[in-house]
Amino acid sequence: MKNVRAAAVQFQHTPGDKEANLDRIFNFIGQAAGHEVELIVFPEMCITGYWHVRKLSREQIESLAEPVPDGPSTHALLDLSTRYGMTIGAGLIERADDVRLYNSYVVAMPDGRTACHRKLHAFISPHIRSGDRYTVFDTPHGCRVGVLTCYDNNIIENARITALMGAEVLLAPHQTGGCRSRSPRAMGAIDPELWHRRLDDPATIEAELRGPKGRGWLMRWLPSRAHDNGMFLVFSNGIGVDDDEVRTGNAMILDPYGEILTETGKAADDMVIAELDGAQLPDSSGRRWLTARRPELYSMLSQPTGLEKDIRKVRFEE
């Protein structure tokens, strides 16, 4: 892997306003270009908006959806990618040729190629289907990249398979933190009023973002995905009020030892940048552990246990 300069962005999208959200994306790309960024990662469904989609009819979701790579948002990302020589990832709702809808993450590359990851564990709407394949590809910047969107990263098998497919950098776009959960120790709701008062009282909302509903929760598992699999990890997230929840930001970049290279705790749109040093990969613990695997012991991983449930039931059941 060659060294690559990467950026992770957090921003508060406007529900359903693709033009406004693309304007924010364009602004960040311009800033990143000034810092010689080669790879920039924006959040899950940040072009279309996220949490409000659970309330929409199929017809309303279709009005937001676009084909990939032939839709206007992908074309716009490709134009910027070519102009700045930058690999750019951003999330939207995809309308496939068979009219199925997906929570998709588009990566535009300066050589004109695109990659599209369909979220494997999509639950935002019964009208949006889950994807059925992993997404790993080479970039023009000399690194091999994989994508796992939000809940995809919760399932350890997904990160391991992505690493086995050769990913050196994992893009992890999210809309998370501040989520209601049946688990008493997994996140929890944040009072939206704390966000609305952030300019007068930034300390209170920033404490929530850094606490167990945000960064504290991330630190229980996110570094292990990087460390155990020997991958750099670029975590991008929404920030601020998203319908009736508050996203916790905490955009960060981790090295293949699970150490944080850079992060933000701001209660605001923000971007963090780090140099990914490819020389760290070969001797990293996770990369060496991949060579010590015993696949003949792992057949149970692909066998149903009877405990499996539909992702929407897992996510929303009380």
The DSSP string of the chain is ---EEEEEEEE-PPTT-HHHHHHHHHHHHHHHHHTT-SEEE--TTTTT-SGGGGG--HHHHHHH-B-TTTSHHHHHHHHHHHHHT-EEEEEEEEE-TTS-EEEEEEEE-TTS-EEEEEPTT--S-TTEEPP-S-EEEE-TTS-EEEE--GGGGGSHHHHHHHHHTT-SEEEEE---SS---SSTTS-----HHHHHTTTT-HHHHHHHHHSTTTHHHHTTTHHHHHHHHT-EEEEEEEEEEETTEEEE---EEE-TTS-EEEE---SS-EEEEEEE-GGGSTTSHHHHHHTT--GGG-GGGGS--S----HHHHHH--
Query: Which range of residues forms the domain containing residue 214?
Result: 4-316
Distance CA 51, CA 244 (A): 8
Distance CA 317, CA 296 (A): 36
**Rounded to the nearest 5°, which phi and psi values hold at 5?**
-95, 120
The DSSP string of 129-185 is EPP-S-EEEE-TTS-EEEE--GGGGGSHHHHHHHHHTT-SEEEEE---SS---SSTT
| Side chain identity, residue 146 | G
Q: Which pLDDT value is given to residue 181?
A: 85
CATH number at residue 79: 3.60.110.10
Distance CA 289, CA 308 (A): 28
Distance CA 121, CA 131 (A): 7
| pLDDT one-digit tens code per residue, 121-163 | 999 999 999 999 999 999 999 999 999 999 999 999 999 999 9
Beta carbons within 8 Å of 303's beta carbon, 6+ residues apart? none
Per-residue pLDDT of the chain (318 residues), as tens digits, is 999 999 999 999 999 999 999 999 999 999 999 999 999 999 999 999 999 999 999 999 999 999 999 999 999 999 999 999 999 999 999 999 999 999 999 999 999 999 999 999 999 999 999 999 999 999 999 999 999 999 999 999 999 999 999 999 999 999 999 998 888 888 999 999 999 999 999 999 999 999 999 999 999 999 999 999 999 999 999 999 999 999 999 999 999 999 999 999 999 999 999 999 999 999 999 999 999 999 999 999 999 999 999 999 999 875
Q: Which pLDDT value is given to residue 318?
A: 55
Please report where in the chains the tokens 């690559």 appear, as a residue. Answer: 4
**Rounded to the nearest 5°, which phi and psi values hold at 150?**
45, -110
Distance CA 49, CA 53 (A): 7
Q: Which pLDDT value is given to residue 317?
A: 78
Task: Give strand pairing partners of 88.
Answer: 40, 108
Domain count for the chain, please give it.
Answer: 1
| Contact of 210 with 199, CB cutoff 8 Å | no
Report CA torsion sign: 114, 120, 121, 127: positive
The model's pTM is 0.97
Distance CA 267, CA 305 (A): 42
| pLDDT one-digit tens code per residue, 83-133 | 999 999 999 999 999 999 999 999 999 999 999 999 999 999 999 999 999
How far apart, in Å, are the Cα atoms of 246 and each of 25, 65, 169, 218, 243?
20, 24, 28, 15, 8
Distance CA 215, CA 17 (A): 28
Q: Which pLDDT value is given to residue 184?
A: 85
